[in-house]
Amino acid sequence: MELGVFEFLIGLAAIFLGLYWWSTYTYDFWKKLRIPGPNPIPLVGNFGPVLLNQLSLAENQLRLYNKWKHEPFFGVFNARMPMLIVNDPELIKNILIKDFHVFSGRGITVDEKSEPLSGNLFNIDGHRWKVLRAKLTPAFTTGKLKQMVELMIECTEHFENYLRKQVKKNNVIECREVAAKYTTDVIGSCAFGINMNALEREDSEFRIMGRKLFEPTFTNLCRRLFREFSPRLYKLFGLKSISPEDTRFFINSIKETIEYREKNKIIRHDLVDILKDMKNNQKDIDFELTEGLLTSQAFVFFAAGFETSSTTISFALYELATVPETQEKLRTEIMDILNKHNGQLSYDIVNEMKYLEMVLQETLRKDPPAIGLRRKAAAPYKIPGYDIILPKGTAVQIPSYSIQHDECYYPKPHEFDPERFSENNNKRHPMVHTPFGDGPKNCIGARFAIYQSKLGIITVIKNFKVTPSHLTDIPYKIDKSGLILTPANGIPGPQPIPLVGNFGSVLLNQQCVLEKHMDLYNKWKHEPFFGIFNGTKPILLVNDLEIVKNILIKDFHAFPGRGIEIDEKYEPLEGHLFNIDGHRWKVLREKLTPAFTTGKLKQMVELMIECTGQFEKYLHEQVGEGNIIECREASAKYATDVIGSCAFGINMNALTKEDSEFRIMGRKLFQPNFVQMISRLLRIYSPELYKFLGLKSVPPKDAKFFIDIIKKTIEYRQNNNIVRHDLVDILKNIKNNQEYIDFELTEALLASQAFVFFIGGFETSSTTMSFALYEMANYPEIQDKLRSEIKDSLKNNNGELSYDVINEMKYLNLVLQEALRKYPALYIVSRKSSKPYKIPGHDVILPQDTLIDIPIYSILNDERYYPNPHEFIPERFSEENNDRNRMAYLPFGAGPKKCIGGRFAMYEVKLGIITVIKNYKVKISKLTQVPCKIGKSSSVFLTPANGIYLEFQPIN
């Protein structure tokens, strides 16, 4: 029984009411306790600007604090979760120190089975935390710290050499990346006894992993928001803060280091030695000490140690660059003390630098790495001095960033003033400066971080004068997706919205993907590249033509794949040449290329010419019924028959039979409809739900039909000794000579290669042909000029067409190239990096697996390369005008992965156009949309929104 509209609306209303109740039923929590605070918004609480990526967590915290800072505390909602924000320094002292027994945990939910590295000292609470904290503390005594400072000083020598090399190449340096390389090497040397090679090698595995962990990307933001606001969805979607590969790598690194030390009896008295001793003396530990738990302690020291210190160093350098008198004062102190000690550095010498200490403390005040301190009540708690009892489990946050920017404690808080921390001025309450927390749960490695940061700053300031560059943001902007306080990263781009990224208008069906790409490109085209997000996936759009050339051709080895995720068991026809990468692509490309040689193409053109006879007859019949023809459907029928004849030796009967199975299948695959759009969006944004709902890009019935057709055609040719030297023959030969192929060659994999040629061949060609006819209807003078050329060429060759005769038609080639410029079949070319890649000429390293889009349509419609791009001007491609950069014209892509059937498509379209123009004048009809609108549900290919209806007037 089908639901009526009324029942459907009632059901929808019930769902919304249920969702509203679920999202708001905790919102009376603070009212019941008589605690003031801002009103929450359903679902998002008081963190809407963060979820919408309008504000960073630090900015949102400061916004709330400034409104409620005169209260000793106030209540907010993190989505549905109540959280008490504590402003009063005395109350903060109680929570962090005096009443630590009540607030001993941070309230961070961890699942060590799912995420083995999450059971670290920062996350865990209770007895395990107490035991592990006691075991790890000896790694950070003053004696150990003095030894580690000596190792840090060795690292500063490498740091200095690295900086000198970089300055020779380009004296504008991205400080956060450089500082992160230095701190990564320091952590490796001091804590693990491992040379992490971050300063020496761009492909340092530890630096790559660190970059991935803290890269302020939209994906990381969404991952964190899911974990924070909906842990159940976080687990359901299988999200992880650290990828399984990185987890395995880190566990294996620590495990191998411990084993090596045990085997070779190496003792360094560092963190790894403490972990080794814990592993070998588990009798005094009353809980299971797994490899994951041991490694977690090393991991948190690695992650926090390099990231917080590198951020602090880079912020300090930024402030010193913008306040040069402070920089000069610091340099004077450093040089005076070094001269006093014959240029030597040591733990004690660093401690002599009092102004350096003040600079660092002011940096930590203005730009604290952690913006707040979290605690969770382990028992009901009466707030001292108030008649309020917090229930057990209440989350508490101390807003460190906001307190350290409160003018009540720090006059002119946005100014960088190290003198605030001089002995004369340092009389403020200790709880208003807590960059490393306080109490038993303060940062265990704080002193390590301070010396690491000081030595990094000394290395820079004694050797270089740092000044703002043309790339410096003043004031700097906080990255809205950063886990800790970080400046916005080096790749520009529009702000994304959680879950939808930069494609909200596409999801709402307000724009097609192509229009959205064009809007983004027009705003950012003066950048060599910029970053966007498709859902939660970061994508780099590359505008610079030289970089495009590098990606597609010169550095193809770094971008061999398109980054399309496929599941051939679930969708058997997905494993085709367009989708697959790596070794299988290389083998199949080599095997299929002989189908498209010039010799084969000449033979296929003869078969195409036969098809044009059927096409001419079809058009004559259609004009007899009514002279308005929907060109895209007519072109698709012609192109379907051409593909059938040339590639498969099959008469697909698209022109002669309305119920042609091949045409019906083709129509279903590319008909722009709402269901198809939803299916495609779910595949991009939620592959799990896409599969759960049983959605498929090719219905199982059609997939089976196509696989069976190819199988039967091959069998028929084998049984009857038929040889046609076409695509099916090549597939037959591949099938019969599998000993030369070192992967499984299934029936579906073979059929997939035929399938992609079928869909690519008829869809792109028919679309190009119909757009070309549309433009000629709009520009009758171009149509007449082309018709004259066609008539003259035919007359010169006794009315006969051939491969060579078509090549004589120079103006036809110009018309087709202009049609492909204005309406390229593919609007983007996609690639995926197979390894870390440094963009030539830029201090940017793309991580492995970065998705790249080259905005073909946008470049082809850019007035810098094509003046008056919205006009149809074939003469742009004449020999005298065709001196533009080759990368500005890529309708079929470029490099090893360019379209294998590009030339086939050109001749197919040319013959279709010739057939129409020699027999008919095409004109704008009453049904023609002018200008032509692009379909909003278009996906891979460019398609008109409502077809292309033209009037066909026969020529006598």
User: In percent, how much of the chain has pLDDT > 70?
Assistant: 91
Same structural domain, 151 and 291: yes
Domain limits for position 766: 573-823+869-919
Residue 856 counted as domain residue: no
User: What's the mean pLDDT in 210-228?
Assistant: 64
Angle 727-736/747-778 helices, nearest 10 degrees?
160
Residue 88: the pLDDT is 96
Domain boundary among 405, 440, 463: 463
**pLDDT surpassing 60 at residue 734:** yes
Contacts of 131 (CB under 8 A, 6+ apart): 285, 286, 287
Q: How does residue 214 score in pLDDT terms, banded at 50, 70 and 90?
A: low
Which amino acid is located at 540 in the chain? L
Q: For residue 408, say whether it is annotated as part of any ligand binding site.
A: no
Residue 484: the pLDDT is 44
User: What's the mean pLDDT in 791-813?
Assistant: 95
Residue 818 counted as domain residue: yes
* Residues facing residue 237 across a β-bridge: none
Question: H or E element: which one contains 766?
Answer: helix 747-778
pLDDT in tens, 257-283: 888 888 888 888 788 888 888 888 877
Q: Which of 339-353, 667-681, 812-826, 893-907 has the lowest mean pLDDT?
A: 667-681
CA–CA dist 941, 223 (Å, integer): 31
Residue 127 three-state SS: helix
Task: Assess contact for 149 and 346: CB atoms under 8 A.
Answer: yes
Domain boundary among 434, 463, 492: 463
Which residue spans within 343-472 are E strands per DSSP?
Answer: 373-376, 381-382, 389-390, 395-398
**pLDDT surpassing 80 at residue 59:** yes
Residue 284: the pLDDT is 75
pLDDT in tens, 884-895: 899 999 988 899
User: What's the mean pLDDT in 677-692?
Assistant: 68
Residue 258 counted as domain residue: yes
Q: How does residue 909 score in pLDDT terms, banded at 50, 70 and 90?
A: very high
Q: Bigger pLDDT: 845 or 691? A: 845
| Start-end of H helices in 215-285 | 218-229, 231-236, 244-264, 271-280
pLDDT in tens, 362-398: 999 999 888 899 999 999 999 999 999 999 999 999 9
User: What's the mean pLDDT in 671-683?
Assistant: 65
Q: How many CA atoms lie within 13 A of 267 on its CB side?
A: 3
Residue 736 counted as domain residue: yes
Radius of gyration from C-alpha coordinates of the chain: 34
Q: How does residue 483 score in pLDDT terms, banded at 50, 70 and 90?
A: very low
Task: Assess contact for 937 and 512: CB atoms under 8 A.
Answer: yes
Q: How does residue 863 score in pLDDT terms, banded at 50, 70 and 90?
A: very high
Residue 956 counted as domain residue: no
**pLDDT surpassing 90 at residue 336:** yes
Q: Which of 500-514, 632-646, 782-796 has the lowest mean pLDDT?
A: 500-514
| Average per-residue pLDDT for the chain | 86
Q: Which of 339-348, 870-879, 937-946 has the lowest mean pLDDT?
A: 937-946
Q: Which CATH number goes with the domain that contains 446? A: 1.10.630.10
Q: Is the peptide bond before 411 cis (omega within 30 degrees of 0)?
A: no
Rounded to 5°, angle at Cα 407 from 404 and 410 = 60
Residue 644 DSSP label: I
Q: Domains in the chain: how many in total?
A: 2
pLDDT in tens, 538-587: 899 999 999 999 999 999 999 998 887 778 788 888 888 888 888 888 88
User: What's the mean pLDDT in 319-335?
Assistant: 95
Going from the C-alpha of 679 to that of each of 513, 635, 692, the distances in angstroms are: 15, 27, 12
Residue 56 three-state SS: coil
* Nearest C-alpha neighbor of 669 from the set 705, 645, 644: 705
Q: Bigger pLDDT: 734 or 229? A: 734
Residue 953: the pLDDT is 93
Question: Tokens 């303060």 map to which residue?
Answer: 442
Residue 494: the pLDDT is 86
Residue 560 three-state SS: coil
Q: How does residue 218 score in pLDDT terms, banded at 50, 70 and 90?
A: low
pLDDT in tens, 395-411: 999 999 999 999 999 99
Q: Bigger pLDDT: 625 or 914? A: 914
Residue 709 counted as domain residue: yes
| Start-end of H helices in 526-673 | 545-549, 582-592, 598-625, 631-643, 661-670
Question: Tokens 């229009």 map to which residue?
Answer: 515
- The answer to whether the Cα torsion of 709, 711, 714, 715 is positive or negative is negative
Residue 220: the pLDDT is 61
Greatest mean pLDDT range, 21-25, 331-335, 476-480, 624-628:
331-335
User: What's the mean pLDDT in 771-784?
Assistant: 96
What's the distance, CA 839 to chain centroid? 16
Q: Is 311 exposed, middle or buried (0-12, 13-18, 19+ CB in 10 A)?
A: buried
Residue 928 three-state SS: coil
User: What's the mean pLDDT in 802-820?
Assistant: 96
Residue 222: the pLDDT is 63
* Nearest C-alpha neighbor of 934 from the set 828, 862, 827, 859: 827
Same structural domain, 269 and 148: yes
Q: Bigger pLDDT: 677 or 545? A: 545
CA–CA dist 392, 377 (Å, integer): 5
Same structural domain, 753 and 886: yes
Task: Assess contact for 737 and 798: CB atoms under 8 A.
Answer: no
What's the whole-model pTM score?
Answer: 0.61
Task: Assess contact for 436 and 162: CB atoms under 8 A.
Answer: no
Note the residue count of the chain.
956
Greatest mean pLDDT range, 129-138, 393-402, 923-932:
393-402
Residue 225: the pLDDT is 64
Residue 588: the pLDDT is 86
Tokens of 900: 């294998």
Residue 848: the pLDDT is 84
**pLDDT surpassing 90 at residue 153:** yes
Same structural domain, 457 and 580: no
Given strand 529-534, what is the order of strands in its sheet?
529-534, 537-542, 851-854, 829-832
Task: Assess contact for 631 and 774: CB atoms under 8 A.
Answer: yes
Domain boundary among 438, 463, 488: 463
User: Which phi and psi angles does 198 have, rounded to 5°?
Assistant: -65, -35
* Nearest C-alpha neighbor of 824 from the set 879, 866, 878, 882: 866
User: What's the mean pLDDT in 606-611?
Assistant: 92
Q: How does residue 71 score in pLDDT terms, banded at 50, 70 and 90?
A: very high
